[in-house]
Chains A and B, each alone.
Chain A
Amino acid sequence: DTAVSQTPKYLVTQMGNDKSIKCEQNLGHDTMYWYKQDSKKFLKIMFSYNNKELIINETVPNRFSPKSPDKAHLNLHINSLELGDSAVYFCASSPAGWDTQYFGPGTRLTVL
């Protein structure tokens, strides 16, 4: 059983499109996260949700919107995609805020 899963694994799309990435965890964790890793492997946290409430919103463009329908899911919706959005996006979860995190396999987004 996959602990933290993401779909899709790869996403290729045109500039200006809107897309979503889904994340699900079956670990019963309270906190979920989204991270972005760019082409230079630099990592940045984007969002964190604790029991469906947003507790971090880094300096991310408002084209990015996290949605958490329940504490097992944290989806990432991106409007008006830009070339600079091309990256690998990782979802993660932890039992509580700032505890050991468990990462999903990543979604490689390519914007053409």
Chain B
Amino acid sequence: ELKVEQNPLFLSMQEGKNYTIYCNYSTTSDRLYWYRQDPGKSLESLFVLLSNGAVKQEGRLMASLDTKARLSTLHITAAVHDLSATYFCAVGNDMRFGAGTRLTVKP
């Protein structure tokens, strides 16, 4: 059974700093998704990564996929308060989700 592990689960960082969220998964997959969820809100699709080596960037967020290592990263550059949210990865055709990373960006 596919298992998806995100770390860290909680991340508190200062504005202006860089950090990376990791999404590891247990079986081969060439399909990975990143989502954002604000407290009490719905989900927003951030990135769809469909091949080994895929890299996508939007603003201060950049996602990459290494299917051989079964690892995706979500890199945050020069964090701002507006990025505070929970970030989920989901893997594979059956969309197995990680537990989420709750990010808080402090001034």
Chain A residues close to B by CB (< 8 Å): 35, 41-45, 56, 58, 90, 92, 98-106
Contact = CB atoms under 8 A, between A and B. Distances in A.
Interface of B: 31, 33, 37, 41-45, 48, 50, 86, 88, 90, 93-95, 97, 99-100
A103 B43 contact: yes
A95 to B, nearest CB: 11
5 contacts: A45-B94, A92-B43, A98-B93, A101-B43, A104-B42
A90 B48 contact: no
Contacts of A105: 41-42
B45 A100 contact: yes
B94 A103 contact: no
A41 B100 contact: yes
B94 A56 contact: yes
A42 B99 contact: yes
Given A58-B94, A98-B31, A106-B42, A43 B88 contact: yes
B100 A45 contact: no
A89 to B, nearest CB: 11
A41 to B, nearest CB: 6
Which residue of A35, A41, A58, A90 has the most chain B CB atoms within 10 A of its CB atom?
A41
A62 B90 CA distance: 24
